[in-house]
Structure 1
């Protein structure tokens, strides 16, 4: 009788296979033809990680904003990914339901490969063709009750199909966030050993961290020897590289194939520093003329503008070396725009945003753009556009300290300069050859250049560097040549 009821039901009844197996083992067999499926009106579509910047092939998944079963609409945030250059929030391009997630938090995802799968609703189905939500729920509920009663009658099972522990079911459900699942897997912890404090006794990251602290305290022997310095490790530890450090490792490894030519020279920046100090004492004068935006002027915008002026005479230093098209016949692409990457020290590592079109910018415009990019870099909010298109690199290592450094080239650019710390030095001054020279105080900074010696010879680099020095030492002349 029960089987005939199931046979007459026009709707799909999903019964766990373990109960069907038990009913069959009890003597009564349920023919497979009595259970059928209806055509799905949903389309499972893989959501690919799009290209988020030139040269980026993989990203680290920082966090997920969704979980399997969540319904999303277009432009809803799905996850946050971190490349070696910037943090990007990925949004949905579809309306649908999250079917599955392919990566845990902190895992690396490849560009062009699926991040997750989305069930996209079939727009061809009309409301008249499908039952309403309440009607469908009533039909499925009635059929499931009938099917449950029939299986239980043949197996002497209780009508309640769920005989699991509610606490363990909540812990082991799919509602565990990816970050918690990743921590459990990394530290080889059984979720049953942790008491969840979240909603529905769900295990949270704080619960896992609390469990780790208690476990380490129990296993770690007491030591009376204090650390040499607050925060210094007491024992060896293995530390994984961050995405920025991983990319730096790859880029610097490739840089080993470039023969570097180094050139350093000392530049007298006394008049330049004096100009900056006078400007900073009277910022209101500049605001009246140029508007707000720059509250403090440094020497870096002047150095970048002087280099841009020198590149008008020595354009081959502002170029890309193309070896990919034909390794046996490389090409030097001389760039018309002067787009200078600036090295910014951030809590997450060294980032190099790009100030574009310096040849068409004023000193104040360059200073404003440096301020904007530096702020975004320290906040971790740079976009791929802010990081792309560099034709030359300027590193202001003097802001930390140090005079002479050996900057490393990053392909495909062919030149880089590092600006050292401005220092007061004694200099012999002789205005009249018939008078003994006097000693005066001057302010100087060392500029350290590196160039790709495969396409640039030392004389070309030295001439360009000396032209930059002459412009900076006669800073009042820079305004004459500005466009």
Structure 2
């Protein structure tokens, strides 16, 4: 079976012994690890996310520690580690930290049935997630669901039954009319699994609001006219990125991530922006957006968006975001509920702006209004904070001079 390197556990020059963990591999339905079959020294390694075969993986070409003899490119062989171990002993508590136990309880995962891949068999949050994915895909069943299946055969063979979900419908669509089957692209398979996890695990709430960008849009248009020869076209999204940085500085919990029972407050401002590509949704990241001007952000956005469409984005250009913006402004629509990109705790969705009548105290005036949809993690953020964030963001977009304050 094929997979990709999820995490590389060795560096060049590291000494490894028999059974030492070299890498974590991720396939469609199982999680495996690559372990050393002999004492060795890592002399070269494949980068993370490299596609590999899980039958015999030359993750690290090595020299024998005792003598530099035959090439041992096969010294890294895969040891299958299923995310499910229904036959495992349940004597004593499973080897896991309190935060992992809490995580498992929130998902309804029987921790005694999860096979740990951590040090000395410790169960990690990755193991719990892998177990959940396997149950959701129907690759495995929990002991409870197996017992239920024996008692009620009609309930067997469903997706997600182990987590208390109703069976996924299995329909022969061909009996209703002509059909065509197309495999999902690899991007959609990966993003789909992440979106499902985030939608299930995060208690998300979305606040919708409108902000007046009449003056900002006029400034943007005039700026583009003045700099027409430069070839750099400033979009509203560039202003949104700068406005979000200002709001994140004022409300730092939106620029944080959960780590067990603690919050990690990030002192950097890396803003991801959703890019529509022929192969699916991708999220390039503008690093250190707080240190860049509108023109530099616009230039980088154009370059990253082109790379995304051409399928040439590197891993470093898609990781590290502390906040994400999903813009449908070029397409249309009014409001939507974007899914948070874990481990972030919030995401901003924006749609196409439109002229609307706004009461100024004496009469209705035509103003250009931008719809905002802020989705936030209720474990970290409450409704009042979310409302303040949206209001402050609207104030900045209404008068961009506020970013200087």
Q: Normalising by structure 1, report the TM-score.
A: 0.49
Q: 1:447 to 1:110 in 2, by over 3 A?
A: farther
Find the counterpart in structure 2 of residue 315 from structure 1.
252
1:245 and 2:188 aligned: yes
CA distance in 1, matches of 2:8, 2:212: 39
CA distance in 2, matches of 1:422, 1:338: 26
Give the superposition deviation at 1:241.
2.2
Q: 1:477 to 1:119 in 2, by over 3 A?
A: closer
Matches within 5 A, 1:79-98: none
Find the counterpart in structure 1 of residue 267 from structure 2.
336
Find the counterpart in structure 2 of residue 446 from structure 1.
371
Give the superposition deviation at 1:477.
3.4
Contact 1:51–1:111 (8 Å) recurs in 2: no
Give the superposition deviation at 1:368.
1.6
Find the counterpart in structure 1 of residue 233 from structure 2.
296
Matches within 5 A, 1:17-416: 57-58=25-26, 109=52, 114=57, 235-255=178-198, 256-283=200-227, 292=230, 295-323=232-260, 330-416=261-347
CA distance in 2, matches of 1:468, 1:342: 17
CA distance in 1, matches of 2:59, 2:247: 50
Of 384-393 and 357-366, deviating more is 357-366
1:429 and 2:360 aligned: yes
CA distance in 2, matches of 1:472, 1:424: 16
Give the superposition deviation at 1:115.
5.7
Over residues 184-210 of structure 1, what are the superposed CA-to-partner deviations in whole Å (9 max), with x where a residue is unaligned? xxxxxxxxxxxxxxxxxxxxxxxxxxx
Q: 1:462 to 1:382 in 2, by over 3 A?
A: same
Over residues 374-393 of structure 1, what are the superposed CA-to-partner deviations in whole Å (9 max), with x where a residue is unaligned? 11101100001001111111
Q: 1:429 to 1:378 in 2, by over 3 A?
A: same
Structure 1: stretches of 5+ with no match in the other structure = 1-47, 61-78, 89-107, 126-233, 324-329, 431-436
Contact 1:302–1:363 (8 Å) recurs in 2: yes
Give the superposition deviation at 1:362.
1.4
Find the counterpart in structure 2 of residue 418 from structure 1.
349
SS of 1:312's partner is: helix
SS of 1:241's partner is: coil
Q: 1:124 to 1:114 in 2, by over 3 A?
A: closer
Give the superposition deviation at 1:428.
2.7
Q: Which runs of 4+ in 1 moved over 3 A?
A: 48-60, 108-113, 115-120, 122-125
Contact 1:404–1:446 (8 Å) recurs in 2: yes
Over residues 459-478 of structure 1, what are the superposed CA-to-partner deviations in whole Å (9 max), with x where a residue is unaligned? 01111111111011012333
Give the superposition deviation at 1:53.
9.1
CA distance in 2, matches of 1:394, 1:427: 26
Give the superposition deviation at 1:235.
2.6
CA distance in 1, matches of 2:357, 2:254: 33
Q: 2:387 aligns with which of 442, 459, 462?
A: 462
Q: Normalising by structure 2, report the TM-score.
A: 0.58
Q: 1:457 to 1:236 in 2, by over 3 A?
A: same
Give the superposition deviation at 1:341.
1.1
Q: CA RMSD in A?
A: 3.7
Contact 2:213–2:368 (8 Å) recurs in 1: yes
SS of 1:359's partner is: helix
Q: Which has the higher contact order (CA 8 A, sep 6+)?
A: 1
CA distance in 2, matches of 1:423, 1:446: 9
Q: 1:56 to 1:262 in 2, by over 3 A?
A: farther
Contact 1:343–1:353 (8 Å) recurs in 2: yes
Q: 1:82 to 1:246 in 2, by over 3 A?
A: farther
Larger radius of gyration: 1
CA distance in 2, matches of 1:413, 1:455: 10
Find the counterpart in structure 2 of residue 3 from structure 1.
none
Q: 1:418 to 1:110 in 2, by over 3 A?
A: farther
Contact 2:232–2:299 (8 Å) recurs in 1: no
